[in-house]
Structure 1
Amino acid sequence: MAGRTAALAVAALGLMGLGVVARLRWPDSAPALDCPPEAVRMGPDGIATCGDGLAPSGAQALALGRRLDLNTATSEELALLPGVGPSLARRLVEAREEGGGFESWEQVDAVPGVGAAKLQTLQAATALGAPSDAGPVW
């Protein structure tokens, strides 16, 4: 029995040591690209690069931690936001089209289904006009 306990202790210590090594080698928070967020482009293979390529789509921009323009985002892109869903995204797009675009957050708040919590989510993940990329969304 003592041999079995010792073997388990050695295995546990080995796993703990492996965890420490993995934690020390874990990726840091430094950006993966050497360009500002607004200069990130998507190559034909779907990989983000600096330089040539297309501007990221709504879903790609969200994955890169960038804000969406609430006045140009599609309902599919808006539905990707936490707590928004397809029906609220559709109502947002309809209200935007009927009013000629959102000029204030009060107009967004007036859309049925947008309450205080969803308004905060929209303010964090979107901008009224071209986003400034002043930092990560989340």
Structure 2
Amino acid sequence: MNRTGALAVATLGLLGLGVLARGRWPDSAPALDCEPGAVRVVDGVAVCGEGAAPSASQRLLLGRRLDLNTVSESELARVPGVGPSLARRLVQEREAQGRFSSWEQVAAVPGVGAARLETLQATTDLR
């Protein structure tokens, strides 16, 4: 077999592997058959039913948002792009002025620029 034939066989083999991998790739269906609020964590594994409520980091990994008006400073500091000092300022502002009722109030906190505001809007809610 010449070089062209070997390349053709290799290409067909890779194409076949790609088709096989695509057919076995996980789909977008939820892994758990319960409402997001019913998800609990048992020994580090998300389950439906009994167990501990997920931590803030675990909620983010599960695709759930945090409540900016109730999340603790240490949990908020773990949100990508926030960090400890901004988390402290956000919680201090929340304690001084009361609950955040608009994103404009959040944007007024020193250190919350456009990029951080966008991150907060993507990961938190104002419930």
Shorter-chain TM-score above 0.5: yes
Q: Is the 8 A contact 2:69 2:94 kept in 1?
A: yes
Question: Following the alignment from structure 1 to structure 2, what is the Cα–Cα distance between the partners of residues 56 and 7?
Answer: 53
Which of 70, 73, 79 is matched with 2:71 structurally?
Answer: 73
**Amino acid corresponding to residue 44 of structure 2 in structure 1:** G
The count of corresponding residues between Structure 1 and Structure 2 is 127
**Amino acid corresponding to residue 105 of structure 1 in structure 2:** W
Give matches, 1:100-111, under 5 Å: 100-111=98-109
Question: Following the alignment from structure 2 to structure 1, what is the Cα–Cα distance between the partners of residues 123 and 13?
Answer: 43
Question: Following the alignment from structure 2 to structure 1, what is the Cα–Cα distance between the partners of residues 23 and 111?
Answer: 45
The residue that corresponds to 1:14 in the other structure is 13
Identity of aligned residues (%): 71
Shift of the alpha carbon at 1:88? 2.1
The farther-off stretch of 102-111 and 20-29 is 102-111
Question: Following the alignment from structure 1 to structure 2, what is the Cα–Cα distance between the partners of residues 80 and 30?
Answer: 28
Stretches of structure 1 that go unaligned for 5 or more consecutive residues are 130-138
| 1:86-116 Cα distance to aligned partner (Å, 9 max, x none) | 3322321222233333233222111012123
The residue that corresponds to 1:135 in the other structure is none
Shift of the alpha carbon at 1:21? 1.2
Shift of the alpha carbon at 1:54? 1.2
Stretches of structure 2 that go unaligned for 5 or more consecutive residues are none
> Secondary structure of 1:15's match?
helix
| 1:27-70 Cα distance to aligned partner (Å, 9 max, x none) | 11000011011111111x11011100111110000000000011
The residue that corresponds to 1:132 in the other structure is none
Shift of the alpha carbon at 1:125? 1.3
Q: Is the 8 A contact 2:69 2:100 kept in 1?
A: yes
The residue that corresponds to 1:48 in the other structure is 46
* TM-score using structure 2 length: 0.85
User: Alignment RMSD, CA only?
Assistant: 1.9
* TM-score using structure 1 length: 0.79
Question: Following the alignment from structure 1 to structure 2, what is the Cα–Cα distance between the partners of residues 37 and 12?
Answer: 43
Shift of the alpha carbon at 1:80? 3.5
**Amino acid corresponding to residue 13 of structure 1 in structure 2:** L
Question: Following the alignment from structure 1 to structure 2, what is the Cα–Cα distance between the partners of residues 23 and 32?
Answer: 18
